[in-house]
Structure 1
């Protein structure tokens, strides 16, 4: 019973938690990227023109971040680097919705928190980054 309230965790538990977090949040955002990737031509003219870059460039950058960077995060490859485009995307979304943290946009701050955690902590032991750094 004491272990339930114990305030410590093993390195294995931490690394499994990071793996689960990478997979769950990676798949959530990757789904949005897949939608953009599979309907790219249809969405081109309708997408937001972020900072005057044009709708095609904005859509391309969002698709790259949401699909490909999420794939990198799931694999644990270039994890910290892959979080940066995702954080930019998430903060653009938050700004568009006037920093609404509750209601229909409550997932966006959760994604931001997950990506900030990955940026600060890294992917954990069960990642390609960890395998590469051992060599």
Structure 2
């Protein structure tokens, strides 16, 4: 399901877990142009721009490691997608396991005490 990559470009596979709450998750693999030092976030952005605009993920800044918006699981390890390097042999990317899934790689990262429902429930108690 990847967009064409020219024959002269080196590629690497990135496998992304897809799905939403109530659905059986599935994996989709995309071949992305690979270069040394390329981040997992670079690869996901490439996929969404060139191969599949429906891939859901969140990020706010690139290579700053400050916002925590791009946290995902890469090969089972929790990382920042903006600082984790895409393996030349490929990487498997999924949502954070300990957070509520919204869709694809997007999870609810708001701390429970800052969640609007929690705040409104606390206010209703008096």
Relative to total residues, which structure has the larger helix share, 1 or 2? Answer: 1
Structure 1-normalised TM-score? Answer: 0.23
Structure 2-normalised TM-score? Answer: 0.24
Relative to total residues, which structure has the larger strand share, 1 or 2? Answer: 2
